[in-house]
């Protein structure tokens, strides 16, 4: 069980190049005389994906990762920027010209229920690519569909069943089969295992790995589960509010994160390891993700960042190598984290009006225990509500 990386970081040629991609959505319902508001779903994103690798994208709700995936697949028109796929600029081509390219860029969606038409039979669903691109008909099409079904671990005799008759993991396999009909060059997986049970997740992850090896696929793997992303990816990008805050090879990102958001994200993930959770220092970020309609100025993370300084409010940091890292590891931060730094030791040096409102109560800063889970006395001064019946002795 060796840890072999078939794609050396500076080896394989570039399959996808995204430059300064921007995608804004107009906010509906603004009256004529009001200024148009936009959701800044993806704001100036640039990255490169090499042939044969798995490029992971993580982020929380509202960070724009799904929109990014769909924009690359040209399911949306993009607002600005360039997408170069296999040497071709597909940023602005029409949907009609995009059609033949759809054999090369495919998507697998998150929701195994919603991504399959409930009123169509599975054989017909998987056969869609052949029908749309007119490459096989009749018995030939059926044969190829059944071949695909077998390839992904489905029983080919279930050709005529409806999606509702399959379990969640099996439905996801149907989606995979459909995406693979033409052995595309690039497969964009948008949260492919999030909706599945844990034991089934592992099956599907293994399946995707096998297929990658067999067909030489390149994956963009979008997910919010950091453990899964670390497992599958060669390189990982972290997104926050429409921007990429850090890009690094998977192990580097998890071992030496540079961006404080990455640090906070990693510390928030509960690992199935009691020793680890007893020992670790958990950084609990305050507040919620701001609205992408009016994102904060400068570095978008500054209202919640434990290290925020005045420069973070005014200047949007560039995504570039920091603290002596190589070109493969970039972070967009003025005050990146050095190795061994503990975010809990820092306090932001900007005024309260630039910060999110600090909560009181059990989430107040001075209520943080020394070690997570083994809270020492609560330092906050919140009065107990008058008790009714209860377990409090």
Partner 1 sequence: MSMVPEVTGGGSQATLEAAAEPIPVGRKIIQGRSPWRLAWERLRTDRAAIISTATIAVIILLALLAPLIAHWLGHGPNQQFVDIGEDENGNPIGPNGTFWFGTDSSARDLFVRTIYGARISLSIGVLATLVSIAIGTVFGLAAGYLGGVADALIARFIDVVLAVPFLVIAISVASIWRPSFWLVIFVVGVLGFSYPARIVRGQVISLKEKEFVQSARALGAGPLRIMFVDLLPNVVALVIVYGSLLIPAAIVAEATLSFLGVGVQPPTADWGAMISDAQGYYQYGYWWYLLFPSLALLITTLAFNILGDSVRDALDPRGGGIYK
Partner 2 sequence: MALLEVEDLTVSFRTADGIVQAVRGVSYDIEAGQTLGIVGESGSGKSVSTQTITGLTKGAQVSGRAVFQGTDLLTASPAQMQAIRGAKIGMIFQDPLSSLHPYYRVGWQIVEMIRLHDRDMSRDDARKRAVELLRLVGIPQPETRVHDYPHQFSGGMRQRAMIAMAMALNPALLIADEPTTALDVTVQAQVLRVIARMQEMFGTAVILITHDLGVIADVADEVLVMYGGKVMERSDRRTLFYASHHPYTEGLLQSLPAYGGARERLRPIPGQPPSLLDPPPGCPFAPRCPYAFDRCRTEMPPLDPVGGDAGHVSACWLPHDSAARAEVREKVLRAQPAGSAGA
Residue 133 interacts with partner 1 (CB under 8 A): yes or no: yes
DSSP per-residue letters across 160-194: G--GGGS-HHHHHHHHHHHHHTT--SEEEEESTTT
Q: Which residues of 152-186 are buried (b: 16+ CB within 10 A; e: fewer)?
A: bbbeeebbebebeebebbbbbbbbbbbbbbeebbb
Nearer to partner 2, 274 or 324 (CB): 274
Q: Which residue of 8, 287, 328, 379 would you call a contact of partner 2, by CB under 8 A? A: 287
For the CB of residue 135, give the shortest distance to partner 1 in the complex, in Å.
Answer: 11
- Scan for tokens 């510390």, then name that residue: 267
Which tokens go with 358?
């600090």
Residue 185 contacts partner 1 per CB under 8 A:
no
Size of residue set near partner 1 by CB under 8 A = 64
Closest to partner 1 by CB, 38 vs 162, is 162
Indicate whether 66 belongs to the interface with partner 1 (CB under 8 A): no
- DSSP secondary structure, 322-389, as one string: -TT--TT-EE--SSPPPTT--GGG----S-GGGSPPPP-GGGSGGG--SSTTS--S----PPPPPP-S
Q: In sequence order, what DSSP letters do the residues of 202-222 get, joined into one string?
A: HHHHHHHHHHHHHHT-EEEEE
The item of partner 2, partner 1, none sharing an interface with residue 384, based on CB under 5 to 8 Å by kind, is: partner 2
Which range in 64-72, 113-121, 323-331, 371-379 contacts partner 2 by CB under 8 A?
Answer: 371-379
Q: How far is the CB of 68 from partner 1 (least distance, A)?
A: 15
Cβ atoms 296, 303 nearer than 8 A: yes
Assess 29 for contact with partner 2 (CB under 8 A): no
Strand pairing partners for 223?
A: 58
Place of tokens 């080919």: 156
Q: Which does 165 bind (CB under 5 to 8 A by kind): partner 2, partner 1, none?
A: partner 1
Taking CB under 8 A as the rule, does residue 249 contact partner 2? no
**β-sheet bridge partners, residue 320:** 331
- From partner 1, partner 2, none, interface partner of 288 (C-beta below 5 to 8 A by class): partner 2
On whether the CB atoms of residues 164 and 122 are closer than 8 A, the answer is no
d(CA 336, CA 155): 51
Tokens 């697998």: give the residue. 108
Kindly tell me which residue out of 21, 57, 116, 247 binds partner 1, with binding defined by CB under 8 A: 116
Which residues contribute to the site for partner 1 (CB under 8 A)?
1-7, 54, 70, 73, 75, 98-100, 102-103, 106-107, 109-111, 113-120, 128-129, 132-133, 150-155, 161-162, 164-165, 169-170, 173, 175, 178, 203, 205-214, 219, 231-234
Which residues contribute to the site for partner 2 (CB under 8 A)?
1, 3, 60-61, 167-170, 197-203, 205-206, 209, 224, 226-228, 230-232, 250-251, 264-265, 268-274, 276-277, 282, 284-285, 287-289, 356-364, 367, 372-373, 375, 378, 382-393
């Amino acid at each position: 069980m060796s840890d072999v990386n078939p794609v050396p970081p500076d080896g394989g040629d570039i399959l996808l190049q995204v430059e300064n991609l921007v995608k804004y959505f107009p906010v509906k319902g603004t009256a004529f005389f009001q200024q148009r508001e936009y959701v800044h779903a993806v704001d100036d994103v640039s990255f490169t994906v090499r042939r044969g690798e798995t490029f992971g994208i993580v982020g929380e709700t509202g960070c724009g990762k799904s929109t990014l995936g769909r924009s690359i697949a040209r399911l949306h028109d993009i607002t600005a920027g360039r997408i170069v796929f296999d040497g071709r600029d597909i940023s602005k081509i029409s949907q009609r010209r995009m059609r033949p390219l759809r054999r090369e860029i495919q998507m697998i969606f998150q929701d195994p229920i919603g991504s399959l038409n409930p009123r169509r039979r599975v054989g017909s669903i998987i056969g869609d690519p052949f029908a749309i691109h007119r490459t096989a008909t009749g018995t030939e099409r059926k044969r190829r569909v059944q071949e695909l079904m077998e390839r992904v671990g489905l029983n080919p005799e279930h050709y005529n069943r409806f999606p509702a008759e399959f379990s969640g993991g099996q439905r996801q396999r149907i989606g995979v089969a459909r995406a693979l009909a033409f052995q595309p060059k690039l497969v964009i997986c948008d949260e492919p295992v999030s909706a599945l049970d844990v034991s089934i997740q592992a099956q599907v992850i293994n399946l995707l790995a096998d297929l990658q090896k067999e067909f030489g696929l390149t994956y963009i793997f979008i997910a919010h589960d950091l453990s899964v992303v670390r497992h599958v990816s060669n390189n990982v990008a972290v997104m926050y509010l429409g921007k990429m805050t850090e890009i690094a090879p998977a192990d580097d990102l998890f071992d030496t994160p540079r961006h404080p958001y990455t640090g906070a994200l990693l510390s928030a993930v509960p690992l199935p390891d009691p020793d680890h959770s007893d020992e670790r220092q958990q950084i609990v970020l305050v507040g919620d993700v701001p609205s992408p309609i009016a994102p904060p100025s400068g570095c978008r993370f500054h209202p919640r960042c434990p290290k925020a300084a005045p420069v973070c409010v005014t200047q949007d940091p560039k995504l570039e190598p920091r603290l002596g890292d190589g070109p493969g590891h970039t972070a967009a931060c003025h005050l990146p984290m050095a190795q061994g730094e503990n975010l809990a030791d820092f306090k932001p040096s900007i005024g309260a009006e630039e910060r999110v409102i600090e909560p009181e109560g059990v989430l107040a800063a001075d209520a943080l225990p020394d070690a997570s889970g083994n809270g020492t006395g609560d330092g906050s001064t919140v009065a107990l509500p008058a008790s009714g019946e209860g377990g409090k002795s």
